[in-house]
């Protein structure tokens, strides 16, 4: 009797050993995944709880020895499936545990997103606050909030942040493997920078990290999460003029506009500006109103013809024929949109490298150098 395999399931497979009957099996794979396989039962070792199968389809001709505790069903041609109820029950229990873990993680993520002062589920986090330290990177605040991996305390990060609450909130996003975009936004709202990561990047490329993040943080302060998400998406996508501002509401538009991050075209200051904002069909309409019949072939010629007959009264009509005012995306602190998009990418990459460094999920290039930088930056 095996504690993890149904007796009837094992005994029937023992009886089928050497019969040459092709069976269809369902087996557990990695985690809670399952997969099918087909083969003939060669032998069953009841004491070891293993089965030898001559594969008949995938890996045809190979004999594989596998643990029977991972087999969920075995089905002979034209027969009902044999079910290993113990394995099925174990799979279901693991699935429920997985669902519970994911629900707990989603709850923790929601708490982390909600507020820098909110608690999160410590059982799901993987780093521990070690205290404060003093850094010496020129142009950046000296205070560092130091966190270490719980499993390998030698893997530490000292981060700059607006407050301890902001530092903790950001590190929780790292520990919970929240999306990089979510962690990026928490870093921006919490004024979070990783000096060792910056130094690591500039060692490889001296032109890296030129953006004045301390000033950028001040410009973006106070934006709602919705407004910040919208703005960062537009910058990262390379948007210039946009037409979907209604998706974030008037308050967010006003907040972005007040900071110079969005600029909405105002009333034209001259006839020339008005004409340039009128579609071709509108230019032809203005010429008809003015009594001029024109078949001019290009837009530039149409614009010149309209300007030659423009009066104050015609201008009032022209204002009504203009396309809707453009809303233009602007980068902060005198940066071009491309420069700011590159700065955002650098920060996002830094967040990703920090994850790899803390969790040691793979060997980073020049990892010894990063370890040394982490110790002093």
What are the distances in angstroms from CA 57 to CA 28, 63, 316? 18, 12, 79
202-213: b or e for each residue (b if 16 or more CB lie within 10 Å)? eeeeeebbebeb
Residue 254 confidence (pLDDT) = 87
Residue 302 confidence (pLDDT) = 83
Give the percent of the chain with pLDDT over 70. 94
CB 208 within 8 A of CB 201: yes
Residue 309: both structure tokens together: 């007959």
Whether 102 shows a pLDDT value over 90: the answer reads: no
Which residues are CB-contacts of 175 (< 8 A; sequence separation ≥ 6)? 124, 125, 126, 127
Whether 38 shows a pLDDT value over 80: the answer reads: yes
pTM higher than the cut 0.85: no
Confidence category of residue 68, pLDDT binned at 50, 70, 90 = very high
Whether 118 shows a pLDDT value over 60: the answer reads: no
47-67: b or e for each residue (b if 16 or more CB lie within 10 Å)? eebebbbbebeeeeeeeeebe
Looking at per-residue pLDDT, the higher value among 216 and 103 belongs to 216
Which residues are CB-contacts of 18 (< 8 A; sequence separation ≥ 6)? 41, 42, 43
Residue 101 confidence (pLDDT) = 79
How far apart (Å, rounded) are the C-alpha atoms in residues 255 and 245? 12
Work out the mean pLDDT of the chain and round it to a whole number.
Answer: 87
335-354: per-residue pLDDT in tens? 999 999 999 999 999 999 99
Which segments within the chain are labelled E, that is strand? 22-28, 34-45, 50-55, 63-67, 71-75, 82-83, 127-134, 143-149, 156-159, 241-242, 262-264, 327-329
Whether 189 shows a pLDDT value over 70: the answer reads: yes
What are the distances in angstroms from CA 270 to CA 6, 204, 301, 322? 88, 51, 18, 13
Confidence category of residue 82, pLDDT binned at 50, 70, 90 = very high
159-187: per-residue pLDDT in tens? 999 999 999 999 999 988 889 999 999 99
Highest mean pLDDT among 122-126, 182-186, 260-264: 182-186
Backbone angles phi, psi at 241, to 5 degrees: -90, 145
How far apart (Å, rounded) are the C-alpha atoms in residues 239 and 306? 32
Residue 358 confidence (pLDDT) = 87
Q: How far is CA 214 from the centre of its chain?
A: 24
Residue 327 confidence (pLDDT) = 82
Whether 359 shows a pLDDT value over 70: the answer reads: yes
**Nearest-5° angle of CA 229, CA 137, CA 143?**
70
Segment 135-144 shows an average pLDDT of 89
Residue 70: both structure tokens together: 């991972």
Whether 59 shows a pLDDT value over 70: the answer reads: yes
Confidence category of residue 241, pLDDT binned at 50, 70, 90 = confident
Whether 311 shows a pLDDT value over 90: the answer reads: no
How far apart (Å, rounded) are the C-alpha atoms in residues 261 and 50? 66
271-298: per-residue pLDDT in tens? 887 788 888 888 888 888 888 777 777 7
In terms of C-beta density within 10 A (0-12 exposed, 13-18 middle, 19 or more buried), how is residue 110 classed? Answer: exposed
How far apart (Å, rounded) are the C-alpha atoms in residues 86 and 5? 6
Which residues are CB-contacts of 32 (< 8 A; sequence separation ≥ 6)? 91, 94, 95, 98
Pick the CATH number of 7-91 from 3.40.50.720, 1.10.10.10, 2.20.140.10, 2.30.30.520: 2.30.30.520
Segment 221-226 shows an average pLDDT of 91
Whether 45 shows a pLDDT value over 80: the answer reads: yes
Whether 357 shows a pLDDT value over 60: the answer reads: yes
* Distance between first and last Cα of the chain: 61
Segment 365-374 shows an average pLDDT of 78
Strand ranges of the sheet holding 327-329, from the earlier edge strand across to the other edge: 241-242, 327-329, 262-264
Domain ranges of the chain: 7-91, 126-211+340-376, 219-264+327-334, 271-321
């Amino acid at each position: 009797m095996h504690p993890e395999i149904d007796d009837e399931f094992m005994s029937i497979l023992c009886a089928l050993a050497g019969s040459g009957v092709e069976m269809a099996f369902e087996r557990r794979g990695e985690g809670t995944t399952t997969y099918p396989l087909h083969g003939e039962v060669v032998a069953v070792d009841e004491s070891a709880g293993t089965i030898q199968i001559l594969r008949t389809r995938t890996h045809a001709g190979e004999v594989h020895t596998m643990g029977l505790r991972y087999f969920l069903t075995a089905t002979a041609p034209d027969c009902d499936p044999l079910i290993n109820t113990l394995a099925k029950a174990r799979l279901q229990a693991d699935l429920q545990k997985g669902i519970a873990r994911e629900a707990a993680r989603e709850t923790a993520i929601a708490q982390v997103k909600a507020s820098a002062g909110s608690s999160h589920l410590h059982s799901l986090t993987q780093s521990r606050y070690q205290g404060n330290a003093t850094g010496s990177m020129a142009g950046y605040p000296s205070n560092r909030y130091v966190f270490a991996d719980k499993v390998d305390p030698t893997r530490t990060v000292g981060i700059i942040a607006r407050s301890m609450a902001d530092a903790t909130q950001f590190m929780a996003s790292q520990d919970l493997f929240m999306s990089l975009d979510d962690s990026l936004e928490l870093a921006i709202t919490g004024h979070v920078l990783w000096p060792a990561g910056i130094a690591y990047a500039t060692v490889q490329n001296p032109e890296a990290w030129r953006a004045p993040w301390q000033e950028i943080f001040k410009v973006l302060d106070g934006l709602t999460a919705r407004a910040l998400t919208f703005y960062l998406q537009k910058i990262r996508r390379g948007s210039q003029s946009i037409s979907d501002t209604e998706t974030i509401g008037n308050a967010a538009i006003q907040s972005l506009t007040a900071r110079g991050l969005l600029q909405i075209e105002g009333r034209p200051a001259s006839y020339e500006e008005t004409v340039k904002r009128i579609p071709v069909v509108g230019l032809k309409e203005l010429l008809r109103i003015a009594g001029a019949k024109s078949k001019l072939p290009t837009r530039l010629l149409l614009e010149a013809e309209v300007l030659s007959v423009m009066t104050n009264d015609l201008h009032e009509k022209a204002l009504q024929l203009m396309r809707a005012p453009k809303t233009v995306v602007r980068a902060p602190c005198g940066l071009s949109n491309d420069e700011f998009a590159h700065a955002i990418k650098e920060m996002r990459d830094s967040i990703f490298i920090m994850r790899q460094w803390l969790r040691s999920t793979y060997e980073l290039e020049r990892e010894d150098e990063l370890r040394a930088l982490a110790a002093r930056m």
